């Protein structure tokens, strides 16, 4: 069946693209559109619309790995633009990338009020390739085009109308188009033939400052937009196309495409194929501290009915007040209106009987096995025997937490990240007994919270925190071999992490990892190298930023980490070696440790794929997306296995090589 359908009626050619799910500009669509241009040559007008929930929402990313196949999109857009019959684009949903470029080839554009427009190529390391950076600024002006192409953010129909990007907003596209055709206005000159827009030096300067670090695609987009101000379309467009095609092969674009596909795949794990989740509407959240309040806020905003359980009425009130503070923030950020906020369903108490009607309980009490076990025993007594039970534990083994609970197929881990109302990642933890239905329900819930689920098996720290521990251990080895925290943090920022490992520990507090190390002290192999600095700091009361001192010191009310001679002295006095490390050596060692741990996690079957691990690191730990996550990045480093073997041989107590790297 053709993905581009045409119908001639009353001198008008009606062209409909039907290429689910998002009417991407795949080759068949491009061929169909070129044929439609031919077919419509003598029409009075050609009406272009899309079936389904959206107008064309971009290119077919599956085609990006291979050389471009004719017909090329720029030729299709040019054919539409120069067609003897004027084309009218009827726009709805999200008009993105190639979709917007096709719309810009049309003589007229009419959109429904809720249509959104964007050039998201930057999000996958590209610039538009079919005139987007040359036509859009000629139509809506330089500034708006820069905003759209360098950030990938969408703008609404009103913004487009005001900027002259569309002719009209209308609820009934067909009726409005019919009226327009009956009284066809003079055909505007093709956008490609319009005068060059004026560049704003202020916008160029501001944008350049904003994107000095990290991904390169935003600056490539800016560069291409500047061409539109300096050259004719006939010169600018081929330059844009050439850069677009070159960038498709770039490491950055490959990494970002990998990130995109991995996120999508992580949300639909193979083992859940065929499993259907249960409908959930009411959630009991146990513990209204930092995490419980964040989880409750996310769930309220997603429309769930929430009951918060705490240790006393007073603690319950404190939890509710924490949630309201977070909701105030959500209201300020426009995530919820004051009107809708009044409809949120939130209650609290210290009585577990109040959890009886909930479909699901999410526990976020202290990280203490006894406390968590008691909580679930009490919940199991009050709740339906099939109600789902989830723990947000960071490091404890959920098998221990749920020991003795009847019907264990309903138990799972839901590991949120702090701040839980903002962070996108949730590790969905499968115990040996967890049923597919329970997992499927967990996945559906996480998606409803507008978060990204990743499946993880059980191990100490699950996927993310286990890798974080390996990364931190490797950083500690560097300290013991002569580096200082600030050198390590600076190097990792340079790589693209939002923060180095020591600044981050200061921010989140040193105690949880300390407690975890204490717990493991007995089971740590004697051959493993132990670095005492982190424990010494906690024992000195240097527990992080909140205490005013940790790996760094802080002036009151100021979050800037300042190097502290006391810490440097402690490290230098206790270090085993005084080697010098270059920033590149620091980066390599830390990444090697992280990648090795990821490979072990994969070999043990804790993670289902390397892509899942990358998603965890990108969404939970700020690993730069434009590097594609540690596993993808590791695959691009040819010398990595050899380097790991050398490190492991030098210091056997610090390295347990994954099979993959043993050689
Ligand atoms: P928190 O100390 O801020 O909050 C814990 C809350 O649980 C307190 O309000 C306490 O009154 C309440 N509580 C204790 N016992 C209870 C009981 N029997 N019944 C009801 N309420 C009880 O702790 P947090 O940082 O929110 O951590 C909670 C859990 O989430 C821990 O398991 C932690 O490991 C995990 N976690 C924390 C983070 C983080 O960054 N803080 C991230 C992921 C997971």
Burial class (CB in 10 A: 0-12, 13-18, 19+), 231: middle
Distance 293 CA to ligand 1 centre (A): 9
Pinpoint the alpha helices (H) of 27-70.
27-39
Predicted confidence (pLDDT) at residue 663 exceeds the cutoff of 80: no
Q: Which two tokens stand for residue 561?
A: 């980490």
Predicted confidence (pLDDT) at residue 603 exceeds the cutoff of 90: yes
Identify the pLDDT of residue 130.
97
pLDDT in tens, 222-247: 999 999 999 999 999 999 999 999 99
Spatial distance between the Cα atoms of 443 and 269, rounded to a whole number of angstroms: 10
Q: Which two tokens stand for residue 584?
A: 């590149």
Percent of the chain with pLDDT over 90: 89
Cβ neighbours of residue 565 under 8 Å, at least 6 residues apart?
none
Residue range 313-336: mean pLDDT, rounded: 95
Contact yes or no for 608/271 (Cβ under 8 A):
yes
Paired with 553 in beta bridges are: 549, 562
Spatial distance between the Cα atoms of 305 and 357, rounded to a whole number of angstroms: 11
Contact yes or no for 5/47 (Cβ under 8 A):
no
pLDDT in tens, 617-658: 999 999 999 999 999 999 999 999 999 999 888 887 788 899
Distance 646 CA to ligand 1 centre (A): 42
Peptide bond into 452 cis (omega under 30): no
For the Cβ of 505 lying below 6 angstroms from any atom of ligand 1, the answer is no
Tokens 């999200």 belong to 94
The residue whose C-alpha atom lies closest to atom 12 belonging to ligand 1 is: 287
Best probe residue, ligand 1, of 284, 288, 289, 469 (max atoms within 8 Å of C-beta): 289
Distance 654 CA to ligand 1 centre (A): 32
The CA-atom distances, in angstroms, between 66 and each of 61, 69, 81, 121, 659 are 10, 8, 27, 17, 32
Contact yes or no for 107/82 (Cβ under 8 A):
no
Identify the pLDDT of residue 653.
78
Identify the pLDDT of residue 611.
98
The residue whose C-alpha atom lies closest to atom 4 belonging to ligand 1 is: 289
Paired with 94 in beta bridges are: 116
For the Cβ of 654 lying below 6 angstroms from any atom of ligand 1, the answer is no
pLDDT in tens, 121-158: 999 999 999 999 999 999 999 999 999 999 999 999 99
Spatial distance between the Cα atoms of 104 and 83, rounded to a whole number of angstroms: 13
pLDDT in tens, 529-581: 889 999 999 999 999 999 999 999 999 888 899 999 999 999 999 999 999 99
Nearest residue to 73 via CA among 100, 41, 40: 100
The DSSP output letter for 498 is S
Q: In a 3-state reduction of DSSP, which class is residue 631? A: helix
Cβ neighbours of residue 646 under 8 Å, at least 6 residues apart?
none
Q: Which domains does the chain have, with CATH numbers?
A: 4-249 (3.90.226.10), 280-456 (3.40.50.720), 464-661 (1.10.1040.50)
Residue range 420-438: mean pLDDT, rounded: 97
Distance 153 CA to ligand 1 centre (A): 36
Contact yes or no for 585/643 (Cβ under 8 A):
no
Nearest residue to 81 via CA among 109, 53, 56: 109
Predicted confidence (pLDDT) at residue 516 exceeds the cutoff of 90: no
The closest-lying atom of ligand 1 relative to the alpha carbon of residue 365 is: 7
Distance 422 CA to ligand 1 centre (A): 17
Tokens 């994107």 belong to 211
Dihedral angle over CA of 172, 177, 183, 189, nearest 10: 130
The DSSP output letter for 70 is S
Distance of CA 239 to the CA centre of its chain: 31
How sure is the predictor about 387, in pLDDT bands with cuts at 50, 70 and 90?
very high
How sure is the predictor about 475, in pLDDT bands with cuts at 50, 70 and 90?
very high
Predicted confidence (pLDDT) at residue 300 exceeds the cutoff of 90: yes
Distance of CA 618 to the CA centre of its chain: 7
Best probe residue, ligand 1, of 287, 311, 391, 621 (max atoms within 8 Å of C-beta): 287
Contact yes or no for 564/553 (Cβ under 8 A):
yes
Spatial distance between the Cα atoms of 236 and 290, rounded to a whole number of angstroms: 52
For the Cβ of 398 lying below 6 angstroms from any atom of ligand 1, the answer is no
Identify the pLDDT of residue 213.
83
How sure is the predictor about 68, in pLDDT bands with cuts at 50, 70 and 90?
confident
Q: Mean pLDDT across the chain, nearest whole number?
A: 95
pLDDT in tens, 173-211: 999 999 999 988 899 999 999 999 999 999 999 999 998
- The beta strands (E) that lie in 173-304 are given as 282-286
How sure is the predictor about 489, in pLDDT bands with cuts at 50, 70 and 90?
very high
Give the catalytic positions in this structure: 394, 415, 427, 465
The residue whose C-alpha atom lies closest to atom 31 belonging to ligand 1 is: 367
């Amino acid at each position: 069946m053709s993905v581009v359908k045409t119908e001639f009626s009353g001198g008008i050619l009606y062209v409909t693209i039907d290429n689910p799910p998002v009417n991407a500009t795949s080759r068949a669509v491009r061929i169909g559109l070129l044929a439609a241009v031919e077919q419509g040559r003598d029409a009075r007008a050609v009406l272009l619309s899309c079936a389904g929930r959206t107008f064309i929402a971009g290119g077919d990313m599956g085609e990006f790995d291979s050389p471009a196949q004719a017909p090329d999109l720029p030729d299709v857009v040019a054919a539409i633009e120069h067609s003897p019959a004027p084309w009218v684009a009827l726009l709805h949903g999200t008009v993105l990338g190639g979709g917007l470029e096709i719309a810009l080839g049309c003589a007229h554009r009419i959109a429904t009020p809720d249509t959104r427009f964007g050039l998201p190529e930057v999000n996958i390391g590209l610039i538009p390739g079919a005139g987007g950076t040359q036509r859009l600024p000629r139509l809506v002006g330089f500034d708006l085009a820069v905003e759209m192409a360098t950030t990938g953010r969408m703008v609404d129909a009103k913004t487009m109308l005001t900027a002259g990007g569309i002719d009209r907003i209308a609820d009934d596209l067909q009726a409005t188009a019919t009226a327009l055709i009956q009284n066809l206005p003079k055909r505007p000159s093709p956008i490609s033939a319009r005068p060059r827009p004026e560049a704003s030096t202020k916008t160029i300067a501001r944008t350049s400052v904003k994107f000095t670090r990290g991904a390169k695609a935003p600056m490539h987009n800016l560069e291409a937009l500047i061409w539109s101000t300096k050259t004719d379309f006939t010169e600018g467009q081929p330059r844009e196309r050439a850069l677009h095609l070159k960038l498709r092969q770039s490491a950055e674009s490959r990494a970002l495409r990998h990130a995109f596909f991995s996120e999508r795949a992580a949300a639909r794990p193979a083992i859940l194929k065929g499993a259907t989740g249960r409908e959930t509407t009411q959630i009991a959240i146990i513990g209204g501290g930092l995490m419980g309040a964040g989880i409750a806020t996310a769930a309220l905003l997603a429309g769930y009915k929430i009951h918060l359980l705490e240790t006393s009425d007073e603690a319950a009130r404190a939890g509710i007040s924490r949630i309201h503070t977070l909701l105030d923030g959500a209201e300020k950020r426009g995530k919820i209106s004051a009107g809708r906020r009044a409809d949120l369903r939130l209650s609290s108490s210290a009585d577990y009987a109040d959890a009886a009607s909930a479909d699901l309980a999410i526990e976020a009490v202290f990280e203490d096995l006894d406390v968590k076990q008691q909580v679930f025993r009490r919940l199991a007594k009050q709740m339906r025997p099939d109600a789902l039970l989830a723990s947000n534990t960071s490091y404890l083994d959920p098998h221990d937490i749920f020991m003795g609970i009847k019907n264990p197929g309903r138990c799972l881990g839901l590991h949120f990240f702090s701040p839980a109302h903002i962070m996108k990642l949730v590790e969905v933890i499968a115990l040996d007994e967890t049923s597919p239905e329970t997992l499927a329900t967990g996945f559906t819930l996480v998606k409803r919270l507008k978060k990204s689920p990743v499946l993880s098996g059980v191990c100490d720290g699950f996927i993310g925190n286990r890798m974080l521990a390996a990364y931190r251990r490797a950083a500690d080895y560097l300290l013991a071999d002569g580096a200082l925290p600030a050198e390590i943090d600076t190097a990792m920022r340079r790589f693209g992490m939002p923060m180095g490992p020591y600044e981050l520990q200061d921010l989140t507090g040193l105690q949880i990892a300390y407690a975890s190390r204490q717990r493991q002290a007995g089971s740590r192999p004697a051959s493993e190298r132990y670095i005492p600095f982190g424990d010494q700091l906690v024992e000195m009361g240097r527990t992080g930023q909140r205490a005013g001192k940790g790996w760094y010191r802080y002036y009151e009310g100021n979050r800037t980490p300042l190097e502290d001679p006391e810490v440097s002295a402690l490290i230098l006095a206790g270090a085993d070696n005084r080697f010098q490390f270059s920033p590149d050596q620091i980066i390599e060692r830390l990444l090697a440790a992280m990648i090795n741990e990821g490979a072990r996690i994969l070999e043990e079957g804790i993670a289902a794929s390397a892509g899942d691990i990358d998603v965890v690191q990108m969404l939970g730990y700020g690993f730069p997306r434009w590097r594609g996550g540690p596993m993808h990045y590791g695959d691009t480093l040819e010398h990595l296995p050899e380097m790991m073997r050398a490190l492991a041989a030098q210091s056997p107590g610090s390295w347990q090589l994954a099979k993959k790297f043993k050689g």
